[in-house]
Every structure is written in structure tokens, then in C-alpha cells.
Amino acid sequence: MNVRHIAADFRIVARSYFRNPLALFFSLIFPIILIGLFGLIFSSASSGPIALQVLNEDHNSPLSVQFLAELNQTHVVQVDVVNDASVTPATFATWLGQNDHSVGLVIPAGFAANLSANRSVNLTVYSNPQDAASAGQVYFAVTGVANGYNLEAAHGTVLIQVPPPQNVGSQVLTYIDFLIPGLIGFSILTSPMFSMVDVTSSYRKEGIFRQLSLTPLTRSEWLVSRILWYVLLTFVSAGIMIAAGIYLFSAHVGVTLGMLPFLVAGPFLFVSLGMFAGSVTKTPESAALIGNIITFPMMFLSGTFFPVSSFPPGLQAFAHVLPLYYVIDGLNQVMLFSNTGLAYTDLAVVLLSGVVIFALAVRFFKWRDE
Amino acid sequence: MASAIEVRGLVKRYGPLAAVAGIDFSVPTGAVFAFLGPNGAGKTTTTEILEGLRRRTDGTVRVLGLDPWEEGRPLHRRIGVIPQDFRFFEKITPKEAIEYYRTLFHTRADPGALLAEVELLDKIDARFDTLSGGQKQKLGLALALTNDPEICFLDEPTTGLDPHARRAIWAVIRKLKREGRTVFLTTHYLEEAELLADQVAIIHRGRIIAAGTPGEIIRAHGYPARLSVEGSAELAAYLGRELHVPVYAEGSRVEVELSDRRDALRILSAIEASGLPWQSFETRQDSLENVFVRLVGQMDEGALKSEAPG
């Protein structure tokens, strides 16, 4: 491995890239467009009242009905009382998930009786972490109405307690916060995959690899120079996406050093995978097909746009065999939850599969024919 | 003089098909060697085996004393290769390409000087995808010279080029020879081989069917030279009687075989002595192209099926 060879090849890659407007567009402008598009679609600022599923265990006592009516009057939520008798507080969370509801509220049994007796009660708010914007607003509305009751009560003691919504971390996260790690993962996957599959198969067809095989450049040097290039590109595009998310949509993602290993290991994995896919196929057309077969499921099923936890169990299991899942999960852990422990596991999976695929790529990637 | 290239019993099989069916030849150091053959004869396969780009099935091959497949890395530092239809990174300029090769080969080659040598200096900063076919081929040639090679392999370097570009490439090949480099050239332009080559081998269907200098091949396989004048059948009959050599009447021309140049005077005297009208004399030498076409044609008819290679 000769550093000067890698540097010389790196300059060739960089120059080719900067002179190709389309490649630059997809690496640098496209991420901003994605952030803007998804940010606008999913930012809740413009939406009307949020549908709030309410499980009223107090059997429609007058006080609970009045509480819900006041909740409706906030115009933040639209109360939707669950009439399905089979739903219990224990199964409510599952039921919400199965029926695609993102927020729910449980009014406990004895709500009216306890309030009348000046005993405190707990209202439980359920929310989908990925729809945290709604969760935040619902929580705000519920505590607001509850405070009214608390003030009315004698001595101003807190009677209705609303614990923070379940499943949400220390801060209220919005969809855009989840979108940023997802889209960083998206570009870690797509940028090297599409280009490496194409480059590997067309360079072989055009004889450029044969040309290079006649120089002292080795296959590993060639691959390392590509990996370095895509690591650089990933740093730039991740920076752009984070900046766009923060300035355009007030995202609160943590920019930590913990991201760096993923921004290196991710491109390492997918540059190798792209080259592998381009090497095992005979023509550029079949390479593109294989590339798409590998890329597209991963693009959507690894938690890029939608959380894997919202998938049906079978699809969740499938997501767990996709290497991109671990890149995105790791980025989520370090950027959103400051959970370095879980991120280590993710990083280990990414690195291990990267090493295996790198070795396979170098093994199957031939400069010259037999 | 030591051989730059030595090939003995070279065989390359693709499945049941033998693309190269046992060939022997050697190229002396400093010579221009032209490898001729119709498309699909085995030229490119042989060339790629010599360059270390393809593995041989059988036989021994030594290029600068090295086995091209097993010792490709040390060999590639000492040879220059211009493949057929040279392609390179589309957005890279000739100057950058040479700088790239210079770093890879650890040489001090000067891009300006190399590009001037191949007459491409005016395109030094043009991107590869804007170059014409001839200009691309010239860049391939310049790149092949970056490492100051002892042997240059040129696989059909002028195919598809306009006459001007072809002449520019020929000039470079002559210069390579003057610099003492060995040149291994494949071509299907016989004229090119005749003009440039010291040694020629003709390969057909994986076998060498003729080898030597162009003159040797023409003498061995060509028709004898003829002296030809415009004249009547009567003149032909007269000459046949007088000279005791084969005389042919073809259309309005009379042709006499010339086994020795010195016979020409004797023949011309006999023609003049006949008293019959004649004009516009010329001598006709079989060209390498005629020999090539005839040899390949005969072999395709099966006439030479059993002839030993060489």
C-alpha cells in the first residue's frame, strides 16, 4: 500500500468528480433537497388538530367527558374515544401501533371519583417517537387542560399528573430529528453504491482497469482511494444536511464525535459493496440491476425515512440483516439519544461486514482476465 | 543480439477453441516486429499474453527474461502498452494523465515533452472526452512512454485513424526504434508493416503461417517479379520463343517473369528487337499485402491445412 499512489489516484477521482456537475448535484445538492422536501411534508406546523385516541377507563363519567370536551376546545387535538371493548390499558400501545395512530391518552378508572376526593390521578400519554412533533403538542395540550383542573382544586395542589409521554427521550424530538440520521445513512448508501457499481463495470468494459493493471497501482490502493473520497464526500454532505436541518427546521440533533466512526465505516462498507456488485457481473447493465436489487430495499427498509420499529415484525427482522440499518441505528443512538453503548454494537456490525465485503471485493475484482 | 521476446509452443485455449495453437517466434532487442493477421487470428490474444494481461494455457513465454503472468509487476515497469481503442478517465486532461502515471511509476517524465513527441501538445489541457480518436491514441502512446520502456507494445495503433494521424504514429514508432527500443506492433495494414517492420510474422487461425523480414516473406511466398509492357499477343509469342522464360499475355499487356533484376535489360532488348509496337513498361513486385491475402485465402480454402507452422 503506497500512500503516494493512493494520493495520485485520489486526485484523479476528485477531479473527475468536480468536473461532473451531475455527480456533484447528487452528492451535495440532493441531500438539501431531501431534507427540505421531507421537512416540509412532515413538519406539523401547517396541519390541523391532531387526532388523539382516548381510552376512557372511567366509563364516560361526566367529569372525564368534560375534561375531554375542554381538550377538544384547545383545537390542538381532536379527541377520538376508543369504543373497542377489547382494548385495555395494557394493550393500548400495541393497538395504537397496529392502527397507525401516533398519539393516545388513557384516562384511568376512578378518574372522577379520585378528583372529587382530591386524590391525585395519572394521565398517560402514548406517542410514537418518530411523530414526536405531534407528541409534543398533545402533551402540551393535555398538561394545559390538566393545570386548569389543578388550579380549580382546593389549595392549588397538583391533582392531575401527566407524566412525560412514553417512549420519548429526554427532549421532545421532531420528525426532522429522526430524518437527519436517516438521510445521512441514505447518502452513505446511495452515493457510493450507484457510482461504484457503474464505475467498476464500465471501467472493466472500457479496458481502463486493464490499463491500470499495467501500472504499479494495486487494486487495494485503487479501492482505498475511492473509500477515502467517499468518506470525504460523506463528511461534507452530512454537514450540509445537519446544517440545513438545524437552520431550516430547528432540528436538535447532537453533533458529536461519536458520529465520525459511522461516517468512515459506512462509506468503507458501501464502496466495497458497490465494487463487489460491479465485479461479479459481466455487463454494466446487469451490474446496474444487481446494484439496484441491493440498494433499493436497503434504501427504504433500514430506517431512512420511516422508523424500523413501526414495521410489521417480519419486515423488522428483514431490516436487521441490512447493513445500512446498523449505520442508521448507530447514528440515531449517538445523535439523538447519546447512547454510545448501543452505538458500539452497531459500529461493530458495520465494521465487521465492511471488512468481509472489502475482502470479497478485492478477491473477486479482477484487473485482468484469465 | 539477445532476444527481447521469446515464445515457444505458446497455446491459449478458450474451452475447446484454441485461439493460439502452438506458435514460436522471437523478437531481437531493438527491432520493430510486426504481427500480422486477419481479425480473430489470435493477434490480440498473443499480445495480451506477452503483456501479462492474459494467462497462457501452455508453452513458454519470456519478455525481457520475465514470465509475463507470474512476474507482471516487475515487467510492467519496463514495458509500455497501448491497447486497441485506448480509453481513459473521461474528465482528465493529457497533462494530468501523465502526471498520474509519473507518480505511479516514480519517474520524472515531463508531460510537455512527451506530448510534444506524440504531437499532442496543443491538447495538453483538454479533457479526454473532448479528444478525437487519433488524439486519444496519441495520449495512449505518450502514457506508454512515461516509464521510458524497453519494449513498446502497440496493438493496432492506427486502426480507424485518418491518414495524417497514422503518419504521426508511424513517425513516433520510427523514433522509438532510433532510441533503441524494441517495438512489438500488431496491425492489419500490410503497408504499415512493410514500411516499419524489421521482422514480420503472419498469424492465421492461431498458427504462424509465414515469418521473416518483409522481403524474405515476399520472396518465399510471393509471385516472382514481372516486367510488363503494353503489347499484343503476337509480341508475347515472340518473347516466349526468344527468351525461354514464362511469358503471360493478360489483356493488352505482356508480362515476363523476372527471376533476376539483371534480366530486365535482356528482356527489353528482345522486345525492341521484335519490331512490334510496345509502350509503357513497368516492373511489378508482389506486395506483402498480396502475399498475405493469398496465403490467408489459400489456407481458408484448405490448401495449406497440413503445412507446418513457421
Residues of A with CB under 8 A from a CB of B: 4-5, 7-9, 11-12, 15-16, 19-20, 206-208, 210-211, 213-217, 368-370
Q: Which residues from B are below 8 Å from A12, CB to CB?
A: 89, 92, 96, 100
Residue at a domain's end among A123, A140, A161: A161
Residue A18 and residue A151 in one domain: no
Rounded to a whole number of angstroms, the distance from the CA of A26 to the nearest CA of chain B is 18
Q: Same domain, yes or no, for A269 and A308?
A: yes
- pLDDT per residue over A329-366, tens digit each? 899 888 877 777 778 889 999 999 999 999 998 888 87
- Domain C-terminal end among A161, A182, A215: A161
B57 touches chain A (CB under 8 A): no
Structure confidence by residue, pLDDT tens digits, A161-174: 666 554 433 345 66
pLDDT number for residue B302: 64
Yes or no, beta carbons of A210 and B104 under 8 Å apart:
no
- Angle of helix A132-152 relative to helix A62-73, nearest 10 degrees, comes to 120
Q: How far is B103 from chain A (nearest CA, A)?
A: 7
Q: Give how far B14 is from chain A: nearest CA, Å.
A: 10
Q: Pairing relation of β-strands B151-155 and B182-187?
A: parallel
Q: Predicted ipTM?
A: 0.79
State whether A322 and A196 are in the same domain.
yes
Per-residue pLDDT of chain B (310 residues; tens, 9 = 90+): 579 999 999 999 998 888 999 999 999 999 999 999 888 888 989 999 999 989 999 999 999 999 999 998 999 999 999 887 889 999 999 999 999 999 999 999 999 999 998 889 999 999 999 999 889 989 999 999 999 999 999 988 888 788 888 888 899 899 999 999 999 999 888 888 888 999 999 998 899 988 998 888 888 887 778 888 888 888 888 888 888 888 888 788 888 888 777 778 888 888 888 888 888 888 877 788 888 888 888 877 764 445 444 3
User: A347 is in which domain, residue-wise?
Assistant: 3-42+174-364
Per-residue cell: A3 = 500512500
Task: Assign domain B224-284 to a CATH class.
Answer: alpha beta
Q: Same domain for A29 and A178?
A: yes
Report pLDDT for B255. 85
Over 50: is that where the pLDDT of A46 sits? Answer: no
Cα–Cα distance measured from residue B266 to residue B259, given in angstroms and rounded to the nearest whole number: 12
Q: Which residue in chain A has the smallest CA separation from B146?
A: A215
Q: Which residues of A touch B72 (CB under 8 A)?
A: 213
Q: Which of residues 122-151 of B touch A (CB under 8 A)?
A: 127
Q: Do B103 and A16 touch (CB under 8 A)?
A: no
pLDDT at A370: 59
Q: How many domains does chain A have?
A: 2
Claim to verify: residue A193 and residue A283 sit in the same structural domain: yes
Closest-approach residue (CA) in chain A for B75: A214
- Domain assignment present for A167: no
Alpha-carbon distance of B46 to B63, in angstroms, equals 12
- Is A168 within a domain? no
Task: Please tell me the predicted confidence (pLDDT) of residue A171.
Answer: 43
Q: Are strands B17-28 and B279-284 parallel, antiparallel or unpaired?
A: unpaired
Residue B77 forms contact with A (CB below 8 Å)? yes
State how far Cα B198 lies from the chain centre: 9
Q: Are residues A197 and A249 in the same domain?
A: yes
Q: How many residues does chain B have?
A: 310
Question: Do A144 and A211 belong together in one domain?
Answer: no
Q: Is B170 on the interface with A (CB under 8 A)?
A: no
Residue A293 sits in the same domain as residue A333: yes
Q: Which long-range contacts (CB under 8 A, 24 or more apart) does A320-325 make?
A: A322/A297, A322/A298, A323/A269, A323/A270, A323/A273, A323/A298, A323/A349, A323/A350, A323/A353, A324/A185, A324/A188, A324/A189, A324/A270, A324/A298, A324/A299, A325/A301
Whether A166 is covered by a domain: the verdict is no
Reduced to 3 states, what is the DSSP secondary structure of residue A121? strand
Distance CA A226, CA A268 (A): 9
List CB contacts (< 8 A) between A201 and chain B: none
Residue A124 is part of a domain; what is its CATH number?
A: 3.40.1710.10
Domain ranges of chain B: 3-78+149-219, 224-284
Q: Which residue has the cell 506483402?
A: B288
Mean pLDDT of chain A: 82
* Rounded distance between C-alpha atoms, residue B106 and residue B100, angstroms: 10
Q: What span, in angstroms and rounded, lies between the C-alpha atoms of A214 and B302?
A: 39
Q: Does residue A253 lie in a domain region?
A: yes
Assess whether A295 and A230 both reside in one domain.
Answer: yes
Widest CA span in chain B: 76
- Convert the pLDDT of each residue in A248-290 to its tens digit: 877 777 788 888 999 999 999 999 999 888 888 878 888 888 8
Same-domain pairing of A291 and A187: yes
Same domain, yes or no, for A208 and A102? no
- Distance, in angstroms, between A214 CA and closest chain B CA? 6
Residue A169 lies in a domain: no
Rounded Cα–Cα distance for residues B35 and A149 (Å) = 100
pLDDT digits (tens, 9 = 90+) for A105-156: 888 888 888 888 877 788 888 877 666 667 767 777 787 777 777 766 655 5
Kindly report the pTM of this predicted structure: 0.73
The answer to whether residue A9 is domain-embedded is yes
Phi-psi region of B128 (alpha: psi -120 to 50; beta: other; left: phi over 0): alpha
Q: Which amino acid is at B105?
A: F
Read off the C-alpha cell for B63: 519478455
Last residue of a domain, one of A161, A188, A222: A161
CB A47 within 8 A of CB A41: no
Residue A22 lies in a domain: yes
CATH of domain B3-78+149-219: 3.40.50.300
CB contact under 8 A, B96 and A369: no
pLDDT at B13: 92
- Orientation of helix A30-42 relative to helix A219-249, angle to 10°: 40
In sequence order, which ranges of chain A are alpha helices (DSSP H)?
A: 3-18, 21-24, 30-42, 62-73, 92-98, 111-116, 132-152, 175-206, 208-213, 219-249, 260-279, 284-301, 313-319, 323-335, 340-364
Kind and range of the H or E element at B280? Answer: strand B279-284
B3-78+149-219 and B224-284: identical CATH topology: no
Is the residue at A275 inside a domain?
Answer: yes
- Share of residues in chain A with pLDDT > 70 (%): 89
